[in-house]
A = this chain, B = another copy of it.
Amino acid sequence: MENLLSERILSTPPSFVRSILKTAADPEIISFAGGLPNPVSFPQEELLKSMKNIVDKFGSAVFQYSLTPGIPQLREYIANRYNKKFGLNLDYENILITTGSQQALDLISKVLLDKNDNVVVEKPSYLGAIQVFSQYQPKFHTVELTENGLNIEQLKEVLKNDIKLLYAIPEFQNPTGLTYSAENREEIFNVIKDKNMVLVEDDPYGELRFEGEHLPYIGAGKFKNSIVLGSFSKVVTPGMRTGYIICQNKELIKHISISKEASDLHTNVFAQYLIWDYLMNNDFDAHIAKIRKLYKEQAHAMLNAMDKYFPKNIKYTRPDGGMFLWVTLPEDISALELFPKALEKKVAFVPGDPFYINKKNVNTLRLNYTNADSKTIEEGIKRLGELLNAIPVKTLSRS
């Protein structure tokens, strides 16, 4: 078998999270490991109503083969929403519907990356992005993520290489929950503006802001090869796998469309009509407000519990939105080694390792707060706190 497999697949890490999710499937375990939206964010009754609507109205068209870039109605809705919210100047041809944002990353990789091409990612970055880029065997460069965004000096340094792609998650980053400041975004733009490269701003959580004011994109509307990724996974339903690419450059989106066609012809067209009908016939912003309120409560429940139960020298981020926060343990503690001990206490998280390029036994870990109620969150954090407090003091005080 081995000698039949491609180099690319042998260099692709299997998702650590998915193997953890299997371990954590025990219903007694309080899991902060996944990235599941709260089911309250799925407007089930309204979607069921829209299903009937679209079958009545469009008949067989919702079951038939369709256009590769997606149905024009939904693409137009998305273009208009971003124009209104972010002052962009998009039309439907700037939008391509994808089978979730994960596919968007795959298509962009296909269109841009030959083996050994240079890609820049945050340190740490979204593990699913590291996984998909790995399949195209690029050379990875990393730029440290600080409280305010990318480390600009490091960014300037890596841009001395011939970079094809800079991948960033400026809002409520996965895994850290950090948000780039307005100043940091401006600085990044100034550093890249004359470069012949593609900037991907992955923005699945942008609608989930529960603190502060919304911020402009780094490149959208001004950088020639700007791509923004969006998704209905966190605000309507992830099971329907409906994401989208917003791309300024119509030549680039044409190539992405060819790649899409070869990859799966088009995204589930029923799902596209369904989401479009839902958006047209319901108060989407009111629905989002409900999700925001819930996630704010849950994030606070987690932070309050951490303040109460965690030893004082353990650091963690305080996100303004999104689904995750990031814990930094004392330097000599491996989150990976802590993981089985946490499982014994029936609580799960994601050790930091898979969010880095080739780094092992790091002292960071990711917690998700969207998929458990506040009481359960407090109980889980309490258990983690007991575990952390049991680590010998001399180790803890060293950090």
Chain A interface residues toward B at CB < 8 A: 1, 3-9, 12, 14-15, 18, 34-37, 39, 42, 44, 47-48, 51-52, 55, 59-66, 68, 99-100, 102-103, 106, 110-115, 117, 128, 131-132, 134-136, 164, 196-198, 225, 233, 237-241, 249, 251-252, 255, 258-259, 261-271
Contact = CB atoms under 8 A, between A and B. Distances in A.
Given A35-B65, A61-B239, A64-B238, 20 more contacts: A4-B164, A4-B196, A4-B197, A5-B111, A5-B112, A6-B110, A6-B111, A6-B117, A8-B114, A12-B258, A12-B259, A12-B262, A15-B258, A15-B262, A63-B240, A99-B264, A240-B268, A241-B268, A264-B264, A268-B268
Nearest to A43: B63
Given A264-B100, A265-B100, A270-B240, A259 B135 contact: yes
A64 B48 contact: no
A282 B59 CA distance: 20
Contact of A60 (B12, B39, B111, B233): B39
B110 A135 contact: yes
B6 A262 contact: no
A214 to B, nearest CB: 26
Nearest to A14: B258
B103 A264 contact: yes
A210 B60 CA distance: 24
Contacts of A66: 239
Nearest to A242: B268
A238 B65 CA distance: 6
A261 B21 CA distance: 14
A263 B198 contact: no
Contact of A251 (B1, B132, B258): B1
Contacts of A239: 61-66, 268-270
Nearest to A48: B55
Nearest to A112: B6
Most chain B CB within 10 A, of A36, A55, A252, is at A55
Contacts of A225: 1, 4
Contacts of A36: 64-65
A356 to B, nearest CB: 17
A187 to B, nearest CB: 23
Contacts of A103: 263-264
Nearest to A238: B65
A63 B251 CA distance: 34
Given A1-B251, A44-B63, A270-B240, A110 B258 contact: no
